[in-house]
Amino acid sequence: FYGTAPPPSPSTTALNKLFDSLRSADSTSTPDKIGPEGTMAYFGNLGVALDDVGCFVVSQIVASPGMGEMTRAGFVNGWAEAGAETAQQQAALVRARKAGLGKKENRGVLRGVYRHTFRLALTAPGQRNIDVDTAVAMWGLLFTAPSLEWKGSVDWLGLWTEFVRARGKAINADVWNQTLVFAEETLKDEGLGWWTEEAAWPALVDEFVKWCREERGVGVQKKAEEDEMSY
Amino acid sequence: MPAPMPKMPNKDDPVATWEFLEIGVDRIMTQLSEGMDSKTYLGLYSAIHNFCTAQKVPSTGTFQSNGTKGGAHLLGEDLYQHLINYLQAHLDGVNQKSQTHTNEALIAFYIKEWDRYTTAARYINNLFHYLNRHWVKREVDEGKKNVYDIYTLHLVRWKLDMFASTHDSIMNACLRLVEKERNGETVENMQVKAVVQSFVCLGLDESDSRKPTLEVYKDYFEKPFLAATSEYYSRESKQFLADNTVVEYMKKAETRLEEEKSRALLYLLPEIVTPLAEACESVLITEHSAVLREEFQVLLDADRQEDLARMYRLLSRIKEGLDPLRTRFETHVRKCGLSAVEKVAADGDNLDPKVYVDALLEVHTQYQALVNTAFNGDSEFVRSLDNACREFVNRNKVCKSGSTRSPELLAKYTDTLLKKSGAKMSEEDDMEKCQADIMTVFKYIEDKDVFQKFYSRMLAKRLVHTTSSSEDAELSMIGKLKEACGFEYTNKLQRMFQDIQISKDLNSAYKGWLATNLEETDLKNAVDASYHILGTGFWPLNAPTTTFAPPQIITKTSDRFASFYNNKHQGRKLSWLWQLCKGEMRANYARAQNTRVAPTFQVSTYQMAMLLLFNESDTVTYDEMASATKLNKETLDPSLGILVKARVLFAEPENAKPESGTVYKLNLGFKAKKLKINLNITVRSESKQEVEDTHKTIEEDRKMLIQSAIVRIMKSRKKLKHALLVNDTIQQIKNRFTPKVSDIKKCIDILLEKDYLERLEGDELGYLA
């Protein structure tokens, strides 16, 4: 009956208080916004570090507008929705979410975290894409354990990283979002039998598939090979 | 004289009445030709009438009670049954006699007997009029089966007692007769017609005896006739093909089909025309269609138009007979096109556009004529021709380096056609024909945007350099392009024409302005110049690639015009395209051969700037020239090279390269062979560069075209599946060029990034206003 019971409704007053207390630890803060100093301290309390996918998990919950930034509204609403009122509860929730991020049943959570992470990397107003190095660093966290491991009999993350580095083209939101979808598909069928040029993949994904097949000899459909052999 | 009839029988005595009647009936049946007097006829008629009315109670008049009806009923039947018995016996005798005949004699006998019998039947029918009107009618009305009016009864008896046992031998005799005719003998074919008619008459509808049906004819004539026909031609065609060529066979088959058609019309029923044709076509064509088709390629290779036409006619008669031909035709035309191109492709980059276009056209013209004459202009063959032409026009050896070669060469050919040139081909008709030919090739060009690019560049040059041969020809060409591709395609071309027209007016206005605003002496010394004002957006012209300091006299001239122009159109910016400017200079130090006149040099403005330096000094160094004109090396050196080559200038030391240290000296002893000497010659590498530039802008334009098509589609659809969007985009653009899926996807990526589009669930894209 745990599943059917409504989650304990955390008091927004308590969360506002917690936000205020975090604000006092940050010299640059404004009434409704906490800067990197306070945010990092708070992350430390929760037991997540910057080179840790847990930091993306927290950022998504509190809807950080940028890396190391928190707003009052995001903080209060985010935790209220997640159902964690105290720092201890929050730390426990983050720990659990992080640990389960790679699990199949948590794809929805992963997708939310993954998509929000792109926003974190946008620093200038009007910026539409992020440079390859930043993207690769973030993929490094998002596509390894405890998050989704983009690896089967082929080290897809390794290939993808090599490929996008070589292309050097900045990554826009669509490519970013579609990369996760693409990753999920590759893990379902490493022969890439589901891929066609006519499908809606971004051009970069199409080029990657061709590159894999032509240059690396991976992602080749086994069935097609056998058919050829039987001739 | 027939024997006199016995006395009228008692109307209540059925036996006597029939005996009386039988004599009359038999006389009609067997001795009709001897005639029957009306007294006898009336006697017979009355006997039937009396007999049928005998049972009626006289006092009730015409009123028929139920009681009397039953009696008349029975009596009518009595007569009817007697007649049946008589007919059976009679026909039995006829049948016996028929056994003694065979073949044509049998047919003749059958027809003779049939005619006699049916004629008699009509008389007897009239004789039994009263029975027909009353007893038979009532029986039929009450739904009695197997009761017919007397005439039909005759037919029924014939069918049962005569036809049933003889139709096989009759039919066989007919078939043998027709076979004889097919073998070339003259036969009494009208006899067959009579047999057919007899068979048709025997087709009686069971439910309504007055309505004839074709069933008997179909079962006993048509079926065996078609079977015999099939067998005959199956045998004959196999034999003929074994001994003769396919070409000969086709002639034979065609003749046979015609013969059968006229045979059907001459002495068979019109109903048989279609099934007979089908039967013949099946054995004469379908059975041998593989062999015929094998011959198709041979005939194509030998250009045997008449035989090809015959094959077309034959195979068009059978279902899907032509489909394999179309495929072969398409392949053949494509191969011809490819090999025609291959022949001229040996010239490589120096390929003359005219030679190339002619090669394409020749193949098209040849096979278009073939389609029209031999294939009856069949729209499916037209389509195959179009497919083949599109293939070899866009993908051939010349296009190997890039599919854009065809439109480029076609545009170049058009340019040579529309340019003033020594070749005197610009007769009105020729021009019209050449333009029509160009449009023929143009229709097949896939990269129509490439043609447009090159065409507009070349048109710009013709207009700016006034080298166009005829304005009418230019407008007619643009009109044709507009008709083929729409207003948008030629919009800029038309604007270019407008600019030239406006410039003409502007120049005359400027002349007037000069006359009122300039002192007379100034006017006399001013450079006589004319100007083209060209709208930046419409002309495919680039800014100069070099810096340039025009000589003072030119600056003065251009500034004067600029002040006039700015006065007229405030806020417009004039940029001078010096690389397109040219002028004439008189070399007063020299004389044209055999005259006392100073020759005129036609030069570019750059060359003008160089040569004017020699007004100050007879020698000018390379460095001085470079710093005075500000021209970059890439422009200066070739222009200078032409002046040296034409011996207007000498380089010192001799053959020195154009570089720092070289000194140029004016050739004061210049020998001019003509009054006008053209020194404004385009350097070859320059035009090659232009081609490359053109190709580059094409790529950019295509991206824009794809993007705007996507936006247009999404704006109206709001939401669309990815695959449909790609498809719609191709549809929208393909009359300009055929976009690659990957290129469209790249453009979708760009639009996603720019937030014109968004990705929705399930491969759908949404439009963001």
DSSP string for B541-590: -PPPSS-----HHHHHHHHHHHHHHHHHSTT------GGG-EEEEE-TT-
Has residue A32 got a pLDDT over 60?
A: yes
What was the pLDDT predicted at B340? 93
Digit-coded pLDDT (tens) for B240-255: 999 999 999 999 999 9
Q: Nearest C-alpha of chain A: how many angstroms from B731?
A: 15
Question: pLDDT confidence of B59, banded at 50, 70, 90?
Answer: very low
What was the pLDDT predicted at B180? 92
Point out which residues pair with B586 in neighbouring strands. Answer: B600
List the single residue in A with minimal CA-CA distance to B749.
A202
Helices (H) and strands (E) in chain B, counts: 31, 11
Q: Is the domain of B277 the same as that of B345?
A: no
* Residues on chain A touching B749 (C-beta within 8 angstroms): 172, 174-175, 202-204
Digit-coded pLDDT (tens) for A57-88: 999 999 998 888 899 999 999 998 888 888 88
Domain presence at residue B761 = yes
State the sign of the Cα–Cα–Cα–Cα dihedral B286, B290, B292, B296.
positive
Higher pLDDT, residue A225 or B432: B432
B741: contact with A, CB 8 A cutoff: yes
Domain presence at residue B574 = no
Q: Is the domain of B153 the same as that of B84?
A: yes
Has residue B694 got a pLDDT over 90?
A: no
Q: Find the mean pLDDT for residues B326-352.
A: 89
Mean pLDDT of chain B: 86
pTM: 0.71
Domain presence at residue B499 = no
Domain presence at residue B517 = no
Q: With an 8 Å Cβ cutoff, are A174 and B722 in contact?
A: no
CA distance linking residue B759 with residue B720, whole number of Å: 10
What was the pLDDT predicted at B109? 92
Question: What CATH number is associated with residue B598?
Answer: 3.30.230.130
Question: pLDDT confidence of B75, banded at 50, 70, 90?
Answer: low
In this structure, the number of other CB atoms found within 10 A of the CB of residue A51 comes to: 10
Is cis: bond before A146, omega within 30 of 0?
A: yes
Q: With an 8 Å Cβ cutoff, are A198 and B726 in contact?
A: yes
Best A127, A171, A198, A209 residue to mutate vs chain B (most B CBs within 10 Å): A198
Find the CB nearest A203 among B722, B746, B755.
Answer: B746
What was the pLDDT predicted at B301? 92
Domain presence at residue B496 = no
| A73 closest CA partner among A122, A26, A15 | A15
* Residues on chain B touching A197 (C-beta within 8 angstroms): 741-742, 745
Q: With an 8 Å Cβ cutoff, are B741 and A199 in contact?
A: no
In this structure, the number of other CB atoms found within 10 A of the CB of residue A40 comes to: 17
Domain presence at residue B711 = yes
* Residues on chain A touching B763 (C-beta within 8 angstroms): 199-200
Find the CB nearest B723 among A172, A173, A198.
Answer: A198
Has residue B63 got a pLDDT over 90?
A: no
Angle between helices B471-485 and B405-418 (to 10 degrees): 150
Domain presence at residue B29 = yes
Q: Is the domain of B344 the same as that of B459?
A: yes
User: B212, B238, B273 — which closes off a domain?
Assistant: B212
Q: Is the domain of B156 the same as that of B203?
A: yes
* Residues on chain A touching B751 (C-beta within 8 angstroms): none
Residue pair A79/A85 in contact (Cβ under 8 Å)? The answer is yes
> What six digits make up the tokens of B660?
């720092």
Higher pLDDT, residue A176 or B596: A176
> What six digits make up the tokens of B424?
């005197």
Q: Find the mean pLDDT for residues A131-148.
A: 92
User: B193, B212, B231 — which closes off a domain?
Assistant: B212
Give the three-state DSSP class for B672. Answer: strand
CA distance linking residue B189 with residue B167, whole number of Å: 18
User: B276, B302, B328 — which closes off a domain?
Assistant: B302
Residue pair B469/B421 in contact (Cβ under 8 Å)? The answer is yes
Digit-coded pLDDT (tens) for A155-202: 999 999 999 999 988 999 999 999 999 999 999 888 888 898 888 899
Domain presence at residue B482 = yes
CA distance linking residue B502 with residue B260, whole number of Å: 74
Q: Find the mean pLDDT for residues A95-124.
A: 90
Digit-coded pLDDT (tens) for B360-392: 999 999 999 999 999 999 999 999 999 999 999
Enclosing domain of residue B603: 582-681
Amino acid in the structure at residue A215 = E
Side-chain-side CA neighbours of residue B158 (13 Å)? 26
Phi, psi (degrees; rounded to nearest 5) at B482: -65, -45
Q: Find the mean pLDDT for residues B27-43.
A: 82
Per DSSP, A212 falls in state I
* Residues on chain A touching B726 (C-beta within 8 angstroms): 198
Q: Is the domain of B330 the same as that of B452?
A: yes
Report how far apart, in Å, the C-alpha atoms of B520 and of each of B514, B523, B525, B704 are.
10, 5, 9, 54
List the single residue in B with minimal CA-CA distance to A130.
B753
Phi, psi (degrees; rounded to nearest 5) at B446: -85, -40
Q: Is the domain of B705 the same as that of B720?
A: yes
Q: Find the mean pLDDT for residues B512-522.
A: 82
Q: Is the domain of B662 the same as that of B740?
A: no
Residue pair B365/B309 in contact (Cβ under 8 Å)? The answer is no
Q: Find the mean pLDDT for residues B174-193.
A: 89
Number of domains in chain B: 5
Question: pLDDT confidence of B71, banded at 50, 70, 90?
Answer: very low
Q: Nearest C-alpha of chain A: how many angstroms from B755?
A: 9
What was the pLDDT predicted at B64? 42
Q: Is the domain of B677 the same as that of B693?
A: no
Question: What CATH number is associated with residue B761?
Answer: 1.10.10.10
What was the pLDDT predicted at A208? 94
Q: Is the domain of B205 the same as that of B104?
A: yes
Q: Is the domain of B382 the same as that of B467?
A: yes
What was the pLDDT predicted at B3? 64
Question: pLDDT confidence of B257, banded at 50, 70, 90?
Answer: very high
Best B703, B726, B752 residue to mutate vs chain A (most A CBs within 10 Å): B752
Looking only at the bridges linking them, the beta strands covering B600-604 and B676-678 are: parallel
Side-chain-side CA neighbours of residue B122 (13 Å)? 6
Q: With an 8 Å Cβ cutoff, are B749 and A128 in contact?
A: no
Question: pLDDT confidence of A11, banded at 50, 70, 90?
Answer: confident
Q: Is the domain of B291 the same as that of B344?
A: no
What was the pLDDT predicted at B16? 79
Q: Is the domain of B641 the same as that of B626?
A: yes
Residue pair B680/B604 in contact (Cβ under 8 Å)? The answer is yes
What was the pLDDT predicted at B2? 57
Question: What CATH number is associated with residue B243?
Answer: 1.20.1310.10
Report how far apart, in Å, the C-alpha atoms of B332 and of each of A46, B300, B367, B645 are.
77, 8, 10, 52
